[in-house]
Homo-oligomer: A and B are copies of this chain.
Amino acid sequence: MQIITSKDNELIKKIKKLKEKKFRDEENVYLVEGTKMLKEAIDEKANIHTIVVCEECIKDNTIEKELLYEIAKYECIYVTEKVFKSITDVTNPQGVLAVIEKKNNSNNINFDEDIIIILDGIQDPGNLGTILRTVDSIGVKQIIVSKDTVDSYNPKVVRSTMGASFRINVIETENLVETIKEIQKNGYEVIATSLETNNSIYDIDFMKKAIIIGNEANGISKEVQDVSDIKVKIPMLGKTESLNAGVAAGIMMYEYVRKKVSRINQETFFLNYIL
């Protein structure tokens, strides 16, 4: 087993560059860190190019035996702790990271889903990651993002998705207004959150709806608001009318879930007791 001991090794330098979007785009790969995420990647049959393993972590038993056995099936690079720390982005690295090929994402929107989530300029990687994780939890398989939204392959985003990155089709659009018009042509009403309306999210049925979540500081851009069909707000009870973008998205997605669950329960009740 050969161990890379120099930070200036060409391969290590190449891997480090993947922290930048430019190089991720060029190589069509991205970085995934930590044992949990690596297991998810293996389970989801992600196309793993290379796994970087910190050899001190093998000795320390930081990486469990079963995972090491799994890892060995892939192309592995063993590095010293010093080299590993020069690549990692996290404070307490777990000694494994992988270079993974980007999902062969289709840019064709799936118009069979009940709801479509659209992000207009989300900037915070943690917020994007959290939103992807929530989308995953409600069984939706895609998300539309404007091109000024933070890159979904940003290491911080990938980390906070808890594996949703491997399952969600992220469709980046050059022209969000045109994409919204296409979504509308396919039978969806487009919902924009706004403070300047009295429509409440509780009065919307969330079937065949596209929900736009705006930028953290400036909300939804004017031209996108202008093409939307319905403005809604999340009723609040406090002095300040302000929610974190990830939380606001979560509340709306779970209003969809609540109505869906209630509809399923009614149908089950009908089938079991009325018929």
Among the listed B163, B202, B235, B257, which residue makes an inter-chain contact with A235, where contact means beta carbons less than 8 Å apart? B257
Give the complex CA separation of A248 and B138 in angstroms.
13
With a cutoff of 8 Å between Cβ atoms, the chain B residues found around residue A234 in the complex are 254
Cβ–Cβ contact B250 & A236, under 8 A: no
Bitwise interface map of A from 255 to 267 toward B, beta carbon under 8 Å scored 1, else 0: 1011011100000
Among the listed B167, B239, B248, which residue makes an inter-chain contact with A136, where contact means beta carbons less than 8 Å apart? B239
Cβ–Cβ contact B237 & A257, under 8 A: yes
With a cutoff of 8 Å between Cβ atoms, the chain B residues found around residue A137 in the complex are 236-238, 240-243
Least Cβ–Cβ distance between A257 and chain B, in angstroms? 6
For chain A, which range describes its interface: under 10, 10 to 19, 20 to 34, or 35 or more residues?
Answer: 35 or more
With a cutoff of 8 Å between Cβ atoms, the chain B residues found around residue A241 in the complex are 137
List residues 210-247 of chain A with CB under 8 A from any CB of chain B.
Answer: 234-244, 246-247
Is A134 among interface residues, defined by CB-CB distance under 8 A?
Answer: yes
Nearest to A160 among chain B residues (CB) is B244
Cβ–Cβ contact A163 & B240, under 8 A: yes
Is A162 among interface residues, defined by CB-CB distance under 8 A?
Answer: yes
Least Cβ–Cβ distance between A126 and chain B, in angstroms? 6
Cβ–Cβ contact A261 & B238, under 8 A: no
Least Cβ–Cβ distance between A122 and chain B, in angstroms? 14
Give the complex CA separation of A240 and B178 in angstroms.
33
Among the listed B162, B236, B244, B246, which residue makes an inter-chain contact with A257, where contact means beta carbons less than 8 Å apart? B236
Cβ–Cβ contact B237 & A139, under 8 A: yes
Give the complex CA separation of A130 and B160 in angstroms.
15
With a cutoff of 8 Å between Cβ atoms, the chain B residues found around residue A251 in the complex are 250-251, 254
Cβ–Cβ contact B261 & A133, under 8 A: no
Least Cβ–Cβ distance between A249 and chain B, in angstroms? 8
Nearest to A241 among chain B residues (CB) is B137
Give the complex CA separation of A126 and B235 in angstroms.
23
Least Cβ–Cβ distance between A99 and chain B, in angstroms? 24
